[in-house]
Amino acid sequence: MAESRPTVRPWGKASYLVDGGIAVRAQIGMVVLSSDQTLSYEARAMLDVPGVGLYESRLLDPGNPSQPLTMDLLEGYFDGLGGAIRQINIRRPSDVIALGCTSAAMAIGYGELEQRVQTLTPQARVTDPFTAILSALRALGPARVGFVSPYPQEVAEKMVAKIEAAGHPVPAGIRFHNETGSGRLDAPFIWPASISGAVRQLVNESEVDAVVVACTQMRAAGVLAELERETGKSLISSNQALCWHALRLAGVGDAIYGWGRLFQTEL
């Protein structure tokens, strides 16, 4: 049998130009817990801004689902953070590193998290959902804050105390509760209409100027704008605040519509 000859084809050469890539304005690196089912989805929608690149890494959630969520457990949630940061994007340093998990960030503290991040990426600004919520409250300027979350009472009380210590009174709160379920495990599956119902209940029963919906697992971003129109109150969710704060720290000051009045607000 005759040996087949390799195909000879002409290869032309095309010149090309380069630009700044997807993240020509800003690159946001985001670390998301492996158990989180909501933050990635909502962040990609809210950070769909021309010239802004979002690059994500996952961090193994150290918690056993059968364990109750306690402050002691939360303090270990960002162990291994260095490895997750190294996997975000090795071609270009991030302008901002955004860390997912509101309660763990609250338990560990911003100073400690910033130090861990900047040991590896000293040029990056750092944010987390709890820090972002406090920044959002300062930017929007409400006097009285309502608090909604799926947290157990110990964690909810600790977070509320820190919000009040930052100068924002919290006269009322609501915790999601189901006799047959677990708020910790059910959080990503709580129907957005149930979140809206909790906010309406809190607004109707309490004198508040704003409502915080805490926990990155909560699917709240899509209902915030409508709830603000309906109630006249400012609405802040963990994921919304984190994305807004990351944009502003990266120098992106665009007014963006559809995600609540926070996205039309400067730092």
Angle ∠(212,216,219) on CA atoms, nearest 5: 80
Q: Are residues 31 and 123 in the same domain?
A: yes
Number of separate domains in the chain: 2
> Tell me, what CATH number does 231's domain have?
3.40.50.1860
CB 187 within 8 A of CB 152: no
List the domain range (segments joined by +) for residue 163: 140-238
In a domain, 13, yes or no: no
Q: Which helix (H) or strand (E) holds 56?
A: strand 52-59
pLDDT at res. 96: 98
Q: What pTM, to 2 d.p., does this model score?
A: 0.94
The residue among 73, 45, 70, 43 whose CA lies nearest residue 57 is 43
In whole angstroms, what is the distance from residue 116 CA to residue 150 CA? 28
Q: Are residues 117 and 245 in the same domain?
A: yes
Q: Are residues 95 and 214 in the same domain?
A: no
Query: Three-class SS of residue 15?
Result: coil
pLDDT at res. 105: 96
Q: Are residues 151 and 77 in the same domain?
A: no
pLDDT at res. 65: 66
Q: Are residues 80 and 200 in the same domain?
A: no
In a domain, 183, yes or no: yes
Q: Are residues 121 and 207 in the same domain?
A: no
In whole angstroms, what is the distance from residue 203 CA to residue 207 CA? 7
pLDDT at res. 254: 96
Mean pLDDT (10-residue bins), the chain, 267 residues? 77 95 96 95 97 96 74 86 93 95 96 96 97 98 95 95 98 90 84 98 97 98 98 98 98 97 96
